[in-house]
Each structure stands twice: as structure tokens, then as C-alpha cells.
Structure 1
Amino acid sequence: MKKHTKLVWLPMAVFPLFMGACNDDDMMGPATSETTITIENVLDPKPLVQSGTFENMGTAPVVMPGESLSFQFYAAKGQAVSFATMYGLSNDLFFAPENPGIALYTDEGLPIEGDVSEHMKLWDNGTRINQMPGPDASHPGVAESVPKGVMEVDGMDAQGNDYANASALMQVTLAYEGNSMFTLTIKNTSGGTSNETPFSPGVWAISYIAGDDLLNPAPIYESGKPAENGLTALAEMGDNSTLGAYLASNTGIFTPLSPVLVVVYDGMENPIYKTGENDRGEGLKALAQMGDASGLAAHLKSMDGVKEVYVLPAANTTVLLPKIGGQPGSKVSQSLKVAKGDRLAIATMYGFSNDWFFAFKDNGVDATQKGDVSEHIGLFDNGTAVDQFPGAGVTQANLAGTPLAESKPIEEVPNPNAFNTLPAIPEIIRITLN
């Protein structure tokens, strides 16, 4: 997987900010020692934010001429939907939009609605010799002596059989349901044409986008390359199970973490937040929505009991990226001066969210302990922005959006949540003290 660093963080260049230090009074206080905190993004990410299968829910799973089916998904600007379904009365042809799929927003960020059939194409899987399409075509038919790459069928296949444009056989429409949700409807319009055919059960997928790049712009097929991952079973027999399982295995979580706020304090309460209370207006909102910890850090410096404050960006990328291309995820470290009774708090944004942040639960952790303290981390909803599907929300700041304001108490994010199921938190962020 290609490494992506073009993420829209505010600010984009945040340098370690040492705010607060020992004063002369500390000389009379408890003896201090040094410890090092290390925060790592240990997420094993997936390239697809969503995927699924579809079939007709009538008496048969195929979509006959005149019938239609729909499925729903979430998407942000720059993302596209790709899907595939077999041309049923063929040997190994399938319908799919050209990669990376059907765009879902205009350049101005407006959702695209209505008929998008013009983006549909007919493809030859390249594994069977094509017979004249129709009810007499055998299944799966005669195998190609040497499988070919997937190729577009533009009016005529390699054996000289004629085909109408895909847009004349299949009508595809988009409807925007609000809050980044779309409904895509496929209607079989092949009835009465020379290419009348049912459509098989199919698959669909949405890729994550980081900066300007989709993590997987070709999740189902690649033009000119041999079919793989179960596409052949779909194209030859209309069996979507293997390809659907493959897409599901590549669907899950991808998120960077914002520069990490680290606070050493000797008070009785976590100085950053408290569940059940609304955001205090002290800078946590900017951290949770934009990944910008500078305002909160400046406020914490003025608080009684706060001894040290740091903002730790990752080298080169500022944000802490997950594991990419076999490389370990980003990590940051900071040496801290701590004394008996000191507590430790942290906060970092779940980058592909509207206003979620990771933090130690309750009153932080004992700053003098050693070892892995990741079990004490929770994921919290700041309650200042309307939530959308993580990594597919059009108002998420790091997907070029503007968060929609709301005012709710800070609460821990349930798992599963309203959109997906997250890995265990120690599988996303690891924090150690040494």
C-alpha cells in the first residue's frame, strides 16, 4: 500500500510545545524522576471503508428485465462507488463502472443524484470463449486456453458478438439521503433489446481516501489484468460469495492520529475533559474536530496543578500514520519529569471522524508507573459535531469538510457504534511508560 501523507490537519506543522516547567517551589516538593512516554499508531489498516454484496430479494436472487434492487452506503468527497454483476446470459461477461467507480460529489462538494448510467461498462472476464449471448449460451462454457486480462466489450466481443451499450441495458441512479448516505438503484432495462439478460447477485465497495488518493482505486478488477479474488466465479456463474468475502476481508479501519497532547498534573481530576459534561470551550473542540491541540495546550499551561504540557507531532508527517506497506506505524516519544502523586493525561484525534478523540479514562494514570498502559485508553465523542461514518463523512474536517455543530455531553464511543465495529483500542493506539 502506498504511503499517504497529504492529510488536512489544522495546524499542519505543530512542533513540540513545552508549556510549564518546574518552578523554584518544586525544589521543596517530592523528589522527581524521569520517565519516557511513547505513543504509537499500531493499527493494521484496511483499504476499504465499506463493502457488501447485493441480490434481488424476490423469488429469485437474479434481477430480471424490468426489476430493480438498491443498496446504501456512506461516502465523502473524492470517494467513488464500484460494483459488479454478471451479464447472466453470457459465458463470462460482467457489468461494472470504469475504475475507480462512479463519482459521488461534484468538484464543489455537492452530492451527485439522478441517472448515472453513462458510467456503466460491459467487461469480458477473459476466462471463457464467448458464445452468442442468450439462453443458449452454455455455463460456464469453453475455457480460454490461456486466460486473458479483463477487457472492455465496446459494442463487440473478441468472437464478433454484438452488444448494446451497457447504459441501454442497465439504469443506475443515485439518491442522496443526507448525512453522507447514498442509495444506489440498479434497474434491468435490457427487456426487449437484442441483449436481454438477467443480472446476477453482485458486490460493491468504497475505498478510503487520504489526501487526494484512494487507497484502493481498483477493488474489484483491473483492466488488462487477469481476474482474481473470486471475480471469475462472479463473471462465469453469478456467484458473488468468494469475491464478497475477499472485499469484506479488506474492509475495516484506517485512520491517522493527530499530534498527541501530553499533560503531567498533580490535581484530582483529568484537566482535559470529563464524561457527562459538555465541552468546556478550552480548546478540546479544535483537537477533536481538527487535530489542533495548540489552543488546549495554551489553556492547560494556566491551570493550577498542571506541571508539564507537550504537543508531539510525528516526524515528517505530523500525524501518526497506521502501519502501511509492511512498515510500522508512526510513534512519538517524550521524556517527562514526574513525582509521586503525579497523574498523566493524553488526547489525540481519531483522524477520520467528526469529533472523536482518544484519552485516558477518568483521572488519567499514575505517571510514575512503568509498562504498557494502553488498556486505560478510551475513545470519546466530544459532542460538538454531528457524527458520520468514520472515513466516509462529507463534513469531516480531514476529508475536506466542515463539521456540523451540535451540543451534547462528552461520552465514550460505544463499540459497535452506529456505523461500524472498531478493533480493540490497544490494536489502534499503544502507550508505554519507561
Structure 2
Amino acid sequence: MKTTNITYKWTVLALFSLIFTACKKDSVSSVMHETQTTVTVENVLDSKPLVESGTFQGSGTPPVIFPGQAVSIQFSAAKGQAISFATMYGWSNDLFFAPANPGIAVYDASGNAIEGDVSSQVKLWDNGTRVNQVPGANVNHPGVQESKVVTEVRGMDAQGNAYLPASSLVKATLKYNGNSLFTLTLQNISGGSSNETPLSPGVWSVSYVAGGQLLNPSPLYSAGMSAANGLTSLAETGNNVPLKDYLTSITGIFTPLSPVLLVVYHGVENPVYKLGMPDRGQGLKALAQKGNADTLAAYLKGKPGIKAVYVLKAPSTTVLLPVIGSQSGGKVSQEINVSEGDRVAIATMYGFSNDWFFASSENGIDANFKGDVSSLIKLFDNGTALNEFPGASISQFNLTGTPLKESLPIALVPNPNMFNTLPEVANMIKVTLK
């Protein structure tokens, strides 16, 4: 199972061209021409396909989930995303419970949250690495080795052992908590049945979705393929650590950057925003919420002190995609004419957010400086939309949602924030003057 190459290098180049509002370049000519400088903006984020992952376990010692006990998983999700999990059928050689890929959907086609009993989506799987004995407390571990692929157990395994439907052994219930936040509760209901068993500590994951496609629809296992990435340890011994470590390695940040607003100005304050003050109503909101820089660019054109305005979009994709495997991130460049005292301001949306944007801090960047100025770029919250988990929100515009209104002053995004820990800004966006 090679999960990282399933839809991850994929068709994002075509998909993302539809996500952000198309933007066009505009400029205001400067009357002073002393030197030429090229401004380059790059998305240097080493992106990951999973937006969230984690573990669960029982509360006792050992931390298994005995019949009658339950565990809960809390996660955020956007439309099109699904929650997947895996836990060992403890009294077996190498069986595990998991939903069919890509997991349990949490919204219906209309974008309404799904709640209630979703046990019918839980399945029983044979890891294919041990010969199955009669399931029960007397199973000898690890058992006789075999080399087969992951297959669903539908009433009977390859050795003729009988099993009740997975939904009769594990009850799964979804609850919507609001603001894109869900709770999945897994209860061991196998007690007293012919397939009574404890459940092992488990793992769970949620994949990013972009352009309607999941970046990794099968991170835990792939039916018809050999187990990999630590699944065997979970299925044979109930040890979830190897699979957890693998999931952690592919969980993190994935976001494009919107077309970049570039402003050259002289003798005035930063024309894009002012920290601690509300959005000025000049177009920054459209940039921060939707990635559309056109409105603010048009407003700034011809204003006192504004020498030039550009909106830079990546060729073919419009947005600047992150680093995807060996594929470099998106890059845009613009040659500008500058004179002494000129400043440069840039702004671009953190695409998978409600209203976060990267921008040059304080009074912009000295336009005559040469070199890497990424340290002068900060991540801001525009304060006009309620924040939800970046990349896992029903209300984020670039995930087909409608932002929920908020009225707060522009502020720096804390790191770590209430949702996750972000890389350093310089590891997400690189800006150079050359």
C-alpha cells in the first residue's frame, strides 16, 4: 500500500485553476525610474495529504476497549471529507475493523452534517499476514505466517471461521458539534456474542480535499493490496504506534496561495492593512476570504503615493500550489521600477482558511533591498470570517463553503493556534528582491 501517491501528485494543477477567482494584472506607472528590481514570491510549503490524524484507546490497563466500553474521536471536516479508523479484532490472528475507503462520510450531498448510527459502514478486514484460527480468547499469537492481501471478511474467513457483521460488534455514532466539528463514538458491542472480542488501541485520519478530490483516500489500508506502513503491527498485535508514526509523517499543512497582490508605494503607510484595525472595506476581505485581489488592486490604482499595482497569478494554475512530493511549489515574479524611499507590500491568501492572509509586516519592504525578505512576511487574520480548522471547514470559500461573518480587528495568527501548529512563515512562503 503506497498511500502517498494516491491522488496526491494527481490532478491539482487542473483542479486548482477553478478554485480561486481568476485575477488579472493591473499596474499604475511610476513617474520615477532609477533601478529595476524583480520581486519573486514562491509557495515553498512541503505539503502533506492528511489534515488530521490521531489515536484512540481504552481507559484501563491494558488500554484495550472491552465489550461494553466506548471511545470518542473529535475531528473537523469539510464537505467531501471522511473519517477513517482502524482497530484490531483482539481475539483474532490479524483481523481489524475499519470503514471501507475513503471512510465514513460526514456530510450529505447538500452539505448537511450526518448524525446518528453509521455502524453499517464499519467492516471487518483480514490483514492477510497470519492464518486465521477460530476467533476467541484462546487464539495463539502470532500464529502461522502467510502472505496474502488485505481482504474484507464477509461472514466467513478463508479458513471457514464464521463472523457476525461488523456492525453487530462495533457501533459507530456520529454527532455534529457545530462549526465543522464532529465526534465519532465507537462502542464495543460484541459482549455475549459468538464473536466477543476486545478492541485494540487504534488510529484515525482525515484527508485533505481539493477540487472535490481527496488527496489520500486510503491512508490506512488498500483492499487487494499487501498491508504496509505499520498496519500489520496493529492487525497482529494491537500495537498502533508504527501506523500512528506513519500517519503523523503525512499529516500537516496543505494550502495553495492565491494570486499575489504586489503594491509599490512611496510616502504613505502600508496601503493593504493596518494591524489592530478593522478591515478598511477596500477589497482586502475579498482577498483574505476568496483569494480575489482584483477589488483591492482596482481601489489602490491611482491613489496618492501608489506607484504601481500588480496581481500576479501562476501560469496554468492561477494559484501558487505547494510543494507536492518532488514537484516544486508555484512561483510568480514581477519586474518593478523603484527609486529611493519606495516600499513594497504584498498580500496573498492562505487558501485553505476562512480569512487568513500572508502580507509584508508593518510598513512593507524596502524596495531597494536585494535578497530574501521572507522574514518580513507574517500571517494575519483578517477578522471578517469565523475561523475553523484550516482545510477542514464547511464554511471556507475554497472548500465550496460560505464564510461565517465576524467583526474583529486584523491580528497576527498565533502559532500554535487553536487548530494546529503551522510551519514557520518562511517555510511556507518565500519572497525575494533581486
What is the TM-score of this pair, normalised by structure 2?
0.96
Q: Which amino acid aligns with 1:284?
A: L
Corresponding position of 1:54: 56
Equivalence for 1:41: 43
The alpha-carbon deviation at position 199 of structure 1 amounts to 0.5
Q: Secondary structure at the match of 2:16?
A: coil
Once the two structures are TM-superposed, the CA of residue 300 in structure 1 deviates from its matched residue by 0.7
* 8 Å contact from structure 2 (residues 17, 316) kept in 1: no
**Partner in structure 2 of residue 129 of structure 1:** 131
Q: Does the aligned pair in 2 maintain the 1:8–1:397 contact within 8 Å?
A: no
Report if aligned partners of 1:68, 1:185 keep a CA contact under 8 Å in 2: yes
The question of 1:158 aligning with 2:158 is answered yes
- The answer to whether the 8 A contact 2:20-2:258 is kept is no
Query: Structure 1 CA distance, aligned partners of 2:34 and 2:80?
Result: 51
- Of 18, 29, 37 in structure 2, the residue corresponding to residue 21 of structure 1 is 29
* 1:245-299 per-position Cα deviation (integer Å, ceiling 9, x unaligned): 1101110000000000000000231000011000000000000000000100011
Instruction: Please say which of residues 264-273 and 305-314 is displaced more in the overlay.
Output: 264-273
Alpha-carbon deviations, 1:357-402, whole Å to 9, x = none?
A: 0000000010011011101000000000000000001100000100
Q: Residue 71 of structure 1: CA displacement?
A: 1.4
* CA distance in 1: counterparts of 2:302 and 2:118, whole angstroms: 56
How far apart are residue 2 of structure 1 and its match?
2.0
Aligned pair count? Answer: 425
Q: Which amino acid aligns with 1:2?
A: K
Query: More displaced, 323-332 or 70-79?
Result: 323-332
What residue number does 2:350 align with?
350
Give 1:100's match in structure 2, choosing from 99, 102, 113: 102
Q: In the aligned structure 2, how far is the partner of 1:36 from the partner of 1:8?
A: 25
Deviation at 1:323, TM superposition (A): 1.1
Shift of 1:8: 7.6
Q: Deviations over 1:172-207 (max 9, x none)?
A: 000001111100100011111100101000000000
Identity of aligned residues (%): 62
The answer to whether the 8 A contact 2:68-2:191 is kept is yes
Q: Which amino acid aligns with 2:9?
A: K
- 3-state DSSP class of the match of 1:7? helix
Corresponding letter in the other structure for 1:225: M
User: In structure 1, what is the equivalent of residue 4 of structure 2?
Assistant: none
For residues 221 and 59 of structure 1, what CA distance do their matches in structure 2 show?
Answer: 28
Distance of 1:315 and 1:166 partners within structure 2:
49
Which amino acid in 1 is paired with 2:29?
A
How far, CA to CA, are the matches of 1:99 and 1:91 in structure 2? 23
For residues 92-125 of structure 1, give each alpha carbon's deviation from its aligned partner in whole angstroms, at most 9, with x where no partner exists.
0000000000001000000100000000100000
Contact (CA 8 Å) 1:9, 1:291: kept in 2 or not?
A: no
Alpha-carbon distance change, 354 to 7 in structure 1, aligned in 2, over 3 angstroms: same
Q: Distance in 2 between matches of 1:161 and 1:198?
A: 18
Matched residue of 1:383: which SS? coil
Aligned counterparts of 2:17 and 2:419: Cα–Cα separation in 1 = 23
Deviations along 1:31-62, one digit per CA (max 9) or x if unpaired, are: 52111001000111000000001001234311
Counterpart secondary structure, 1:118: helix
* Aligned partners of 2:77 and 2:392 also within 8 Å: yes
Amino acid of the residue matched to residue 128 of structure 1?
A: R
Distance 1:142 1:11, change over 3 A: closer
> What's the secondary structure of 2:271's corresponding residue?
coil
Q: Do the aligned partners of 1:264 and 1:309 also contact (CA within 8 Å) in 2?
A: yes
What is the correspondence of 1:162-201 to structure 2 with a 5 Å cutoff? 162-201=162-201
Deviation at 1:12, TM superposition (A): 3.3
Alignment of 1:150-299 (within 5 A): 150-299=150-299
Partners of 2:412 and 2:188 lie apart in 1 by 45
* Counterpart check, 1:12 vs 2:21: yes
Could you list the runs of 5+ residues in structure 1 that have no partner in the other structure? none
Contact 1:347-1:357 at 8 Å conserved across structures: yes
State the shift of 1:337 in Å. 0.6
Do residues 363 (structure 1) and 372 (structure 2) align?
no
SS at match of 2:223: coil
Query: Secondary structure in 2 aligned to 1:121?
Result: strand
CA RMSD of aligned residues (A): 1.1
Once residues 239 and 62 of structure 1 are traced to their aligned partners in structure 2, the CA distance between those partners, rounded to angstroms, is 11
Match of 2:9 among 2, 7, 10: 2
Residues in 2 aligned to 1:205 and 1:400: alpha-carbon distance in whole angstroms:
21
**Superposed displacement of residue 77, structure 1:** 0.3
- In the alignment, is the contact (CA less than 8 A) between 1:35 and 1:433 conserved in 2? yes
- State how far apart, in whole Å, the 2-side matches of 1:340 and 1:171 are: 69
CA contact (8 A) 1:8 1:211 kept: no
Cα separation, partners in 2 of 1:221 and 1:185, compared to 1, 3 Å:
same
Task: For 1:268 and 1:293, locate their aligned partners in 2 and report how far apart those are by CA, in whole Å.
Answer: 20
